[in-house]
Homo-oligomer: A and B are copies of this chain.
């Protein structure tokens, strides 16, 4: 770590450590990359057999979100009330220069990380949770249903529902819900109803639950349960925390803030890195920069950090369901198959079979690279430890993948001598995920 000499070098470095925006600078519009794609995004489709899922979409998604899902307007207004909710949730969030990490690595690269961990519920998920809860309330709904994997999305939706005055039901992948009792209680404290999934509350869930009451579950299964629950209650509507266009749209607030902060720093990233499960934090962080790559010829490289248990970007680019129970339309995406089995990992938020259609399309065009880390997660958690010991923030297990990839790239720069500017997103904090650290690192 830093020696006395190192400390001395930081003199007058305070203003280069952190780039913060005033509350007045919360972006007033989200960025919709559909306006800038070289061709239209392959649309959702119906399967050849069975009921039409497309015609059921208006019952499945909040009206305003469905509109946004299809929109090709480049800039979409953030409602004034939602800006107020973002301010209440502490936005904008800081961008940090990782000076101490750089010194420790002795890399010529300059590392910057976005602090989405400064969030009321612990992650970036609040950005779309607040938007969806706000639109659902405006549309007259009384309850939100959803799924959650790592638990970050469920917590965020419980939070957002409470703030706007809605009830909330969460189906939580059982394997994860078991070791995250604190997070479970947090959701309940915020008034949410939480069921380990597969549960006995839905048809999809019951089929699996009855065979094995200890079934570990998956995001795909939990999505089916959330959809089914909302379908049978007219006052309820389903809310998805990742994958879909409107979710990534809401999350672009991360990248838009980051762009302003890079202007303050007088830099532009050569590398943009984040972890990727369904794609919401990666998309939110990267899409504004990908827009620059599409329209301004910027040569930024984009890397998605994944797990080898769910390397969906190494799957096939084809139409597939977004859920286990086949309730959703088919989406054109990189997929491992919607009923694939995936081993549990501590970074459970990365454990999803498919990648968002927008990001999948961009990958198919060569804009996004990917790296997948081994199931034992040792490298990932060790990299996170290095980050904690130098920068001091405790990342969520998912965000540890983002950090691992950023450090790996910084180490390569040390070998090549390249002074790359590396931007990475820390999508959430790990205060409620310490068991992951203890287990993997043997604390």
B-contacting residues of A (Cβ < 8 Å)?
A: 1-4, 6-8, 10-15, 17-20, 22-24, 26, 80-81, 83-90, 94, 96, 99-100, 115, 118, 120-122, 134, 137-138, 159, 162-165, 181-183, 185-186, 188-191, 385, 388-394, 429, 431-432, 434-435, 437-438, 441, 443
Contacts and interface: CB of A to CB of B under 8 A. Distances in A.
A394 B19 CA distance: 25
B431 A182 contact: yes
B4 A137 contact: yes
A394 B120 contact: yes
A80 B2 contact: no
Nearest to A2: B165
Nearest to A19: B23
Contacts of A159: 392
Contacts of A188: 443
Q: Copy number in this complex?
A: 2
Given A1-B163, A185-B443, A431-B432, 13 more contacts: A2-B164, A7-B164, A10-B84, A11-B80, A14-B80, A88-B99, A90-B94, A162-B392, A163-B390, A183-B434, A185-B437, A190-B388, A191-B389
A100 B163 contact: yes
A441 B138 CA distance: 32
A195 to B, nearest CB: 15
Nearest to A17: B87
Contacts of A15: 23-24, 87
27 contacts: A6-B165, A7-B134, A7-B165, A10-B85, A11-B80, A11-B84, A12-B84, A13-B84, A13-B87, A14-B23, A14-B86, A14-B87, A17-B84, A17-B88, A18-B90, A20-B20, A120-B394, A121-B392, A122-B431, A159-B392, A162-B392, A163-B392, A182-B431, A185-B438, A186-B394, A189-B394, A431-B432
Given A15-B87, A189-B441, A441-B189, A389 B122 contact: no
Contacts of A189: 385, 388, 394, 434, 437, 441, 443
Contact of A115 (B90, B134, B165, B391): B90
Contact of A10 (B3, B12, B20, B81): B81
B162 A87 contact: no
Contacts of A81: 7-8, 10-11
Nearest to A5: B165
Nearest to A12: B80
Contacts of A24: 15
A162 B101 CA distance: 12
A19 B390 CA distance: 29
Contacts of A165: 1-4, 6-7
Q: Top 6 nearest A-B pairs by Cβ distance? A: A431-B431, A182-B434, A17-B87, A14-B87, A14-B84, A10-B84
Contacts of A121: 392
